[in-house]
Structure 1
Amino acid sequence: MGANFDLFGDPVAANHGGRGRPAHVPTQQNRNRVSMLVGLGWSNERIAGAMLITLPTLRKYYFSELNLREVARDRLDARLAMKLWEQVEAGNVGAMREFRKVQEHNDLMLYGQQRPAAPADKPAAERLGKKDAAIVAAQNPNTGSRLGELMARRQGLNS
């Protein structure tokens, strides 16, 4: 007997329409979703909330995905790299650039290095934020205009 599916393609529980709440039926899509969320570092409570199931249901049906928490991030990164590589082989130039970034990041991880910091244009002491720059500009009015001359006279800079 074939499995019955609802409009969204999810299997319908055997007791659907009967007494009590139908049992949760795990699908491959949900297994993939749980694996992805575990790889992103989500807690079990957060995953269960996103899946609209309880913690015991999550642990009952998705225990194998939850047990791979130690390697889930590496598996997720590997899957992403494979998808990117497929695009590279198809000739996608944007994917080539992105794959180069992934490759550089991987090389840095291998050798225990970090990305070099972007060079600063000016030393931190010389840089001013927007508000500080506005205060400095207000204290030094432009005397090339009538308004600037008036402001300078009021501040006693130009008598």
Structure 2
Amino acid sequence: MAEQEFDLFGDPVRQSNGRRGRPKHVPSQENRNKVIVLLAMGWSNERIAGALHVSQPTLRTYYFSELKARDIQRDRLDAHRLMLAMEEANKGNVGAMRLLDQLISKSDLALTTGRLGDAQRKAAAKPETPGKKAQEKLNAHKVLGGDDTASDGWGEDIKPGSGMH
């Protein structure tokens, strides 16, 4: 049995088996992990299929369970990195302690920014506008002089009897 050859990126080189066409794709755990990492990085199905040298239908056929969990893959990757850093920091690895501190700071910043963003969105939300009838009442009140500043911006300057005596 001859040893299998691999290309520059570690993928097995396909040898001609005497039959026409491309051999059937055989999914491996390594390829499953590659799909998970690429999903975590936000890659599209087209890019992932290209990286694996398969068509998009083949990608969807063999890696459907990984593709189904697309939305949570980034969180899973971050959690895995955090756990690895924690394990190494517990062993006394100073570099891992520094990395763990950076990851925690990054997470805290994201949480704080998210909270600030929510607060800013609430503050920037449109103020509640009065209904049609309430707005008409408000306008009538302003015209009758119930408001010290007229809506035209002149204010007290042109009111009859003001400042002429």
Q: TM-score range by the shorter chain?
A: 0.5 to 0.7
Aligned to 1:117: none
Paired residues, number: 110
Amino acid at match of 2:76: R
Aligned to 1:39: 40
Query: Normalising to structure 1: TM-score of the pair?
Result: 0.59
Task: Indicate the RMSD between aligned Cα atoms, in angstroms.
Answer: 2.9
**2:81 paired with 1:80:** yes
Q: Deviations over 1:69-102 (max 9, x none)?
A: 1111101111111111121122110110110111
Amino acid at match of 1:39: A
How far 1:6 sits from its partner (Å)?
4.7
Could you tell me how far apart the structure 2 residues matched to 1:43 and 1:91 are?
Answer: 39
Q: Secondary structure at the match of 1:59?
A: helix
- Structure 1: 5+ residue stretches without partners: 115-159
Give matches, 1:4-153, under 5 Å: 6=4, 17=17, 19=19, 20-111=21-112, 112=114
Q: Which has the larger radius of gyration?
A: 2
Query: Normalising to structure 2: TM-score of the pair?
Result: 0.57
Mark the CA change 1:10 to 1:52 in structure 2 (over 3 Å): closer, same or farther: closer
8 A contact 1:88–1:95 mirrored in 2: yes
Aligned to 2:119: none
